[in-house]
Amino acid sequence: MRFRDGQWNVAEGFRLEYAEEVYRITKTPSGEGISLLCPTRKIMSRGDTLNTGTISVDIEAAFDGVISVETTHWQGAARRGPDFSLFPGGKPEVSSKITKSDKGTTLSSGSLSASVSGKDHTFDVSFHSTDSNKLLTTLLNRSVGLAYTPATSTPMQLADMRNFKHYIFTQTTLSVGESVHGLGERFGAFNKVGQKVNLWNADGGTSSDQAYKNVSFWMSSRGYGIFIDTPERVELEVGSERCCRVQTSVESQRLKWYIIHGPTPREVLKKYSILTGTPGSVPAWSFGLWLSTSFTTNYDENTVNGFLEGMKARDIPVEVFHFDCFWLKAFHWCDFVFDEDMFPDPKGQIARLKAEGTVKKVCVWTNPYLGQASPVFAEAAAKGYLLKRKNGDVFQWDMWQTGMGIVDFTNPAACDWFVGCLEKLFDTGVDSIKTDFGERIPSDDVQWFDQSVDPKRMHNYYAFIYNKLVYEALQKRYGKNEAVLFARSAVAGNQRFPLTWGGDCESTPEAMAESVRGGLSLGLSGFAFWSVDIGGFEGHPPPWIYKRWVAFGLLCSHSRLHGSGSYRVPWTVDNDDASDEGCSATLARWTHLKARLMPYLFAQAQAATRDGLPLSLRAMCIEFPDDPTAWTLDRQFMVGDSLLVAPVFEEDGTAQFYLPKGRWTNFFSGEVKNGPVWFTETHGFATLPLYVREATLLVLGKEGEKRTVYDYAADVEVRSYFAAEGTKAVLVDNTGAEVGVLEVGKDGEIAGKKALKGDYVVTVVSA
3-class secondary structure, 127: strand
**757 and 627 fall within a common domain:** yes
In a domain, 235, yes or no: no
User: Of 173, 197, 231, which one is at a domain's C-terminal end?
Assistant: 173
Q: For the chain, give the mean pLDDT.
A: 97
SS3 content of the chain, % helix, strand, coil (to 5): 25, 30, 45
Nearest by Cα to 521 from 27, 103, 259, 187: 187
Residue 73 carries which DSSP code? S
Residue 766, pLDDT > 80, answer no
**165 and 41 fall within a common domain:** yes
Q: For position 767, what pLDDT does the model report? A: 60
Tens digits of residue pLDDT in 269-283: 999 999 999 999 999
Q: For position 442, what pLDDT does the model report? A: 97
427 is catalytic: no
Catalytic residue among 235, 324, 335, 439: 439
**357 and 504 fall within a common domain:** yes
CATH number for the domain harbouring residue 35: 2.60.40.1760
| Interval 631-655 mean pLDDT | 98
In a domain, 592, yes or no: no
| Contact assessment for residue 432 and residue 320, using Cβ atoms and an 8 Å cutoff | yes
**531 and 634 fall within a common domain:** no
Catalytic residue among 58, 203, 335, 436: 436
**Buried b / exposed e along 204-213 (16+ C-beta atoms within 10 A):** ebbbeebbbb
Mention every residue, 6+ apart, whose C-beta is less than 8 A from residue 361: 285, 286, 319, 320, 321, 431, 432
In a domain, 697, yes or no: yes
Q: For position 133, what pLDDT does the model report? A: 83
102 is catalytic: no
**564 and 626 fall within a common domain:** no
Nearest by Cα to 22 from 94, 122, 170: 122
| Interval 497-510 mean pLDDT | 98
In a domain, 691, yes or no: yes
In a domain, 206, yes or no: no
In a domain, 194, yes or no: no
CATH number for the domain harbouring residue 636: 2.60.40.1180
In a domain, 261, yes or no: no
Q: Of residues 648 and 767, which shows the higher confidence score?
A: 648
Four-residue CA torsion sign, 373, 376, 379, 384: negative
User: Of 129, 156, 173, which one is at a domain's C-terminal end?
Assistant: 173
300 is catalytic: no
Residues spanned by the domain of 653: 620-766
**299 and 416 fall within a common domain:** yes
Query: What whole-number percentage of the chain has pLDDT above 70?
Result: 100
**624 and 566 fall within a common domain:** no
CATH number for the domain harbouring residue 459: 3.20.20.80
**698 and 636 fall within a common domain:** yes
User: Of 142, 173, 204, which one is at a domain's C-terminal end?
Assistant: 173
**490 and 416 fall within a common domain:** yes
Tens digits of residue pLDDT in 171-229: 999 999 999 999 999 999 999 999 999 999 999 999 999 999 999 999 999 999 999 99
Tens digits of residue pLDDT in 109-142: 999 999 999 999 999 999 999 998 899 999 999 9
Q: Measured between alpha carbons, how far is 519 from 185 in angstroms, rounded to an integer?
A: 6
**Buried b / exposed e along 304-319 (16+ C-beta atoms within 10 A):** beebbebbeebebbbb
In a domain, 400, yes or no: no
**151 and 25 fall within a common domain:** yes
Catalytic residue among 32, 203, 235, 504: 504
Tens digits of residue pLDDT in 4-15: 999 999 999 999
**533 and 659 fall within a common domain:** no
pTM over the 0.95 mark = yes
Tens digits of residue pLDDT in 315-343: 999 999 999 999 999 999 999 999 999 99
**514 and 627 fall within a common domain:** no
Structurally, the chain folds into a number of domains equal to: 3
Q: Measured between alpha carbons, how far is 415 from 476 in angstroms, rounded to an integer?
A: 14
Task: Give the neighbor-by-neighbor strand order of the sheet with 728-732.
Answer: 728-732, 738-744, 750-751
